[in-house]
Amino acid sequence: TKWVYTFGDGKAEGEAGMRNLLGGKGANLAEMSNLGLPVPPGFTITTEVCTYFYDHGRSYPDDLSAQVEAALAHVGRLTGRTFGDPANPLLVSVRSGARASMPGMMDTVLNLGLNDTTVEALATAAGDERFAWDSYRRFITMYSNVVLDVGHHHFEEALEDYKERKGLHLDTELKAADWKHLVGRYKEIVEKELGRPFPQDPKEQLWGAIGAVFGSWMNNRAIKYRELHAIPASWGTAVNVQAMVFGNMGETSATGVAFTRNPSTGEKELYGEFLINAQGEDVVAGIRTPQDITERARKASGSDKPSMEKAMPEAYAELVRIYDLLERHYRDMQDLEFTVEKGKLWMLQTRGGKRTARAALKIAVDLANEGLISKEEAVTRVEPAALDQLLHPTIDPKAERKVLAVGLPASPGAASGEIVFSSDEAEEARKNGRKVILVRVETSPEDIHGMHAAEGILTTRGGMTSHAAVVARGMGKPCVSGAGTIRVDYAAGTLSVAGQVLRAGDVLTIDGTTGQVLLGRVKMLEPELSGEFATLMSWADGVRRMKVRANAETPLDARTARTFGAEGIGLCRTEHMFFEGDRIVAVREMILADDEKGRRAALAKLLPMQRKDFVELFTIMRGLPVTIRLLDPPLHEFLPHTDEEIAEVAAGLGASAEKLKARAAELHEFNPMLGFRGCRLAIAYPEIAEMQARAIFEAAVEVTNGTGEAVRPEIMVPLVMTRAELDQVKGRIDAMAAAVATETGSPLAYQVGTMIELPRAALRAGEIAESAEFFSFGTNDLTQTTLGISRDDAGSFLGAYTGKGILPADPFVTLDQEGVGELVKLAAERGKATRAGIKLGICGEHGGDPASIRFCESAGLDYVSCSPYRVPIARLAAAQAAL
Ligand code: PEP
Ligand code: MG
């Protein structure tokens, strides 16, 4: 087996495509060599050696050592030096390099090959004794630290001691003799700590470093990192051994890092910093202030230190030539590391650069406009979820965060405000011009007005599809839900967390993108929608197959959805419309009435309000489909609680408060999510569905006649488990359509369909499709009922499940494709088998999740529907899924 791949001098055995075998760094070093760029020669030991190492009790393949010897000799020939040679030694760096960039692993050992003899040769070759001894002491420190596990602090202390004794302050004041003395001290320290001397044999040093790189693949930090980023342990890391070039050989040497475009704005400019007379770690250590690379940046920063452009014009010109070449070659923004040794530029690394969402957008669009990538490719270059950063205020990354608690990132964006504990207080504060965060154990539909009034919502209980989460996302308001370590005491008007007690009026910040709850006000960055956003979105729209609709019921939500490019409403939750203003009283009358007559009286009050709602909605969404779902309330949520509320309803119904209390107690449910809700309501009280159907049809006729543009409502029946249920409700709807057509003289086209949100409905989809003209997958309930996990209070244990890897992700956020997804696919197939043209959509929260959207594409759905602020994310994700 070939375990070792060499590179350098315009040639390489590997190339960029061999990332899995050579790791990212190794593959790109090979690629740069092949491009004829100045790369210090070296070789890569493959990731397969790492795998072998762990499969064979931390030992190496037999033929590895001969291959390493041969590669060392090859590098020696290219550099004219020999590894371990006392007179003309080859010195190397050793670095790790996995497939994906992985902080937490062993990083770098520089100057390897130095010992008591070769240090003299280095001094002679460089003509600089101080430089040689400084390099040697750096090597001992680094090697001891990462390979021998002798802590850095030992050496730091020895250095500080020495400087104090000599009355020196800066490292730069130390001369060759000082470093020479310290090297002696350092070796003593190592011997004392380890019981054996610092290795003098360069071969032993090399194998020590190689072993340390492979060993670091399994250190705790690396394991943790892999866990967080879903990187399999089987990938392994490669080891890169490369001839040293020195950025610390005096004033004509330097080291630096650069991005080929600005990583925070995406601006096309060489962006980075460098340090004269320094080695790589000096830049990272931040001891000296780095200098700007371009003159332009230097002027902008007002620095009095010369730019690289000024100080090293030739190396700078070479860097400019190379960065342009690399960007064209890789067709993406690159992150570069380089060293200048005595005026000559050497490239040490290139890789795709990390960037903000804003930069990602600009770079993708610019690269396409520059002709480097196609528009389709540009569409794939932006992470859909990253668009959240652009649509909501975010916390300034430079701001200090005093984290009090971490809950679920339920609705993105950040907000600060005074704490209030009730929705009425929130509304009151808002009227007085104060900004508040509504803090509740959980929210219910009665909190809608408070949620509207608040800047953000924090709950201590509830998951990603809890009421607070769903409604906040719909409103585009930041929300952290299920922050379980916070205790709310409504009576005392306090919350306690992390040993602190906060009162109403104290200021909190919530970050709905990370789930953090922070003390005090934190600096925010306002969202900015650039021209590139619209451009990329239009390219995405050009390639996607699935339509994107929004879940919206209020005029505001509907308008937002249209602005963000929604192509219709996929879910109008009519129960949300009933919590506005004084409708709740009429709704309670309707629910608590003990006979049909009482209900009809209450419904008569609701009809004009519903009709008006639909007129508004149809008008805003003119020309686009609107799916209206019949009432689907856990009845429970509508029940009055306080004596005052009961008295109000009693008056309306002409009944006694006692009687009402008894009726409310009768309707109280222990498990309302599986209770008297969905179409069960329409089955028990058909007059409710009739009222809603009438309101829909009358509104549709009104808007059609008024605008001349036909409204085609889609009426959706929730929580169906049998075809018989659907048929009963559909019968009422059809009859109402006929009645309204006769009354108004305007017949109307409409569709009746169903939600598929119970496993039985999915299984019986073939039969249900005989009656349903469309299916909309309600994956919130379908997840809850398939997994048997309550969507409202799963937060308490779901964390443990995802943490232990039992579930790959929160199933209420990312569709459980293997389980719930199987039911979706099966229902789609069975539905299509019965009714070829059946329209298929999804309106659970998963409709706005990129991974789930990809699944929807593969399941052949016609559209996804999500909260308005997620519409752009869904448009981009649907486009990527189609490519
Ligand atoms: C669903 O269950 O997925 C759905 C969209 O309906 P709701 O969230 O209103 O129950
Ligand atoms: Mg549902």
Which residues approach ligand 1 with their CB closer than 6 A?
571, 573, 632, 757, 778-781, 843-844
> Of all atoms in ligand 1, which is nearest to the CA of residue 846?
3
Residue-wise pLDDT for 801-826, tens only, equals 887 879 988 999 999 999 999 999 99
Q: Is residue 263 domain-shared with residue 229, that is, in the same domain? A: no
Residue 531 lies in a domain: no
Packing angle, helices 723-744 and 686-707, rounded to 10: 40
The DSSP letter of residue 806 is S
Q: Considering only CA atoms, which residue is closest to atom 1 of ligand 1? A: 778
Q: Give residue 161 CA to ligand 1 midpoint distance, Å.
A: 68
Residue 706 lies in a domain: yes
Q: Give residue 632 CA to ligand 2 midpoint distance, Å.
A: 8
Q: Is residue 93 domain-shared with residue 236, that is, in the same domain? A: yes
Q: Is residue 447 domain-shared with residue 420, that is, in the same domain? A: yes
* Active-site amino acid positions: 467, 843
- Pick from 674, 755, 780, 849 the residue to mutate for probing ligand 1's pocket: most ligand atoms within 8 Å of its CB: 780
Q: Is residue 276 domain-shared with residue 216, that is, in the same domain? A: no
Give the domain range for residue 288.
254-355
pLDDT of residue 536: 96
Q: Which ligand is nearest to the CA of 464?
A: 1
User: CB neighbours of 505 closer than 8 A, spacing ≥ 6?
Assistant: 418, 419
Residue-wise pLDDT for 17-49, tens only, equals 999 999 999 999 999 999 999 999 999 999 999
> Of all atoms in ligand 1, which is nearest to the CA of residue 844?
3
Contact 214, 95 (CB under 8 A): no
> Of all atoms in ligand 1, which is nearest to the CA of residue 776?
5
- Per-residue HEC secondary structure of 222-261 comes to HHHHHHHHCCCHHHCEEEEEEECCCCCCCCCCEEEEEECC
Q: Is residue 589 domain-shared with residue 466, that is, in the same domain? A: no
Residue 744 lies in a domain: yes
Q: Is residue 623 domain-shared with residue 551, that is, in the same domain? A: yes
CB atoms within 10 A of CB 207: 16
CA within 13 Å, CB half, 519? 12
Q: Which ligand is nearest to the CA of 866?
A: 1
Q: Considering only CA atoms, which residue is closest to atom 4 of ligand 1? A: 778
Q: Is residue 265 domain-shared with residue 217, that is, in the same domain? A: no
Number of domains within the chain: 4
The last residue of one of the domains, among 338, 355, 372, is 355
Q: Considering only CA atoms, which residue is closest to atom 9 of ligand 1? A: 573
pTM of the model: 0.84
Q: Is residue 132 domain-shared with residue 259, that is, in the same domain? A: no
Q: Give residue 514 CA to ligand 1 midpoint distance, Å.
A: 24
Tell me how far apart the alpha carbons of residues 586 and 706 are, in angstroms, rounded to a whole number.
Answer: 29
Q: State the sign of the Cα–Cα–Cα–Cα dihedral 733, 739, 744, 746.
A: positive
Q: Which ligand is nearest to the CA of 629?
A: 1
- Pick from 843, 845, 863, 865 the residue to mutate for probing ligand 1's pocket: most ligand atoms within 8 Å of its CB: 843
The last residue of one of the domains, among 301, 330, 355, is 355
Tell me how far apart the alpha carbons of residues 103 and 226 are, in angstroms, rounded to a whole number.
Answer: 10
- Pick from 466, 467, 572, 573 the residue to mutate for probing ligand 1's pocket: most ligand atoms within 8 Å of its CB: 573
Q: Give residue 664 CA to ligand 1 midpoint distance, Å.
A: 25
Give the CA radius of gyration of the chain: 34
Q: Give residue 677 CA to ligand 1 midpoint distance, Å.
A: 12
Q: Give residue 604 CA to ligand 1 midpoint distance, Å.
A: 27
Residue 26 lies in a domain: no
Q: Considering only CA atoms, which residue is closest to atom 6 of ligand 1? A: 778
**Which residues are placed with Cβ below 5 angstroms of ligand 2, an ion?**
757, 778, 781
Q: Is residue 231 domain-shared with residue 314, that is, in the same domain? A: no
Strands 271-276 and 291-292: antiparallel
Q: Considering only CA atoms, which residue is closest to atom 3 of ligand 1? A: 778
654 sits in which H/E element:
none
Q: Is residue 679 domain-shared with residue 788, that is, in the same domain? A: yes
CB atoms within 10 A of CB 86: 12
Judged on CB neighbours under 10 Å (0-12, 13-18, 19+), 831 is buried
Strands 494-497 and 500-503: antiparallel
- Pick from 627, 757, 792, 846 the residue to mutate for probing ligand 1's pocket: most ligand atoms within 8 Å of its CB: 757
pLDDT of residue 601: 93
pLDDT of residue 736: 98
- Pick from 781, 820, 861, 870 the residue to mutate for probing ligand 1's pocket: most ligand atoms within 8 Å of its CB: 781
CATH of the domain at 409: 3.50.30.10
CATH of the domain at 277: 3.30.470.20
Q: Give residue 845 CA to ligand 1 midpoint distance, Å.
A: 8
pLDDT of residue 805: 79
Q: Which residue has the tokens 């409103």?
A: 475
> Of all atoms in ligand 1, which is nearest to the CA of residue 843?
5
Q: Considering only CA atoms, which residue is closest to atom 8 of ligand 1? A: 780
Tell me how far apart the alpha carbons of residues 106 and 713 are, in angstroms, rounded to a whole number.
Answer: 61
CA 618 vs CA 195, 577, 713, 746, 773: distances in Å: 83, 15, 9, 17, 20
Q: Give residue 282 CA to ligand 2 midpoint distance, Å.
A: 57
Residue 822 lies in a domain: yes
Q: Is residue 816 domain-shared with residue 778, that is, in the same domain? A: yes
The last residue of one of the domains, among 355, 382, 417, is 355
Q: Which ligand is nearest to the CA of 470?
A: 1
Q: Give residue 473 CA to ligand 1 midpoint distance, Å.
A: 14
> Of all atoms in ligand 1, which is nearest to the CA of residue 781?
2
Contact 744, 701 (CB under 8 A): yes
Residue-wise pLDDT for 382-428, tens only, equals 999 888 878 888 898 888 999 999 998 888 889 999 999 999 999 99
Residue 268 lies in a domain: yes
Residue 38 lies in a domain: no
Whether the ipTM is more than 0.85: the answer is yes
Token pair recorded at residue 234: 């089987």
CATH of the domain at 720: 3.20.20.60
Residue 58 lies in a domain: yes
598 sits in which H/E element:
helix 596-620
Percentage of the residues of the chain whose pLDDT score is greater than 70 = 99
The DSSP letter of residue 718 is -
> Of all atoms in ligand 1, which is nearest to the CA of residue 784?
2
Q: Which ligand is nearest to the CA of 778?
A: 1
Q: Is residue 642 domain-shared with residue 768, that is, in the same domain? A: yes
Which regions in the chain score pLDDT beneath 70? 104, 281-288, 528, 581
> Of all atoms in ligand 1, which is nearest to the CA of residue 779?
3
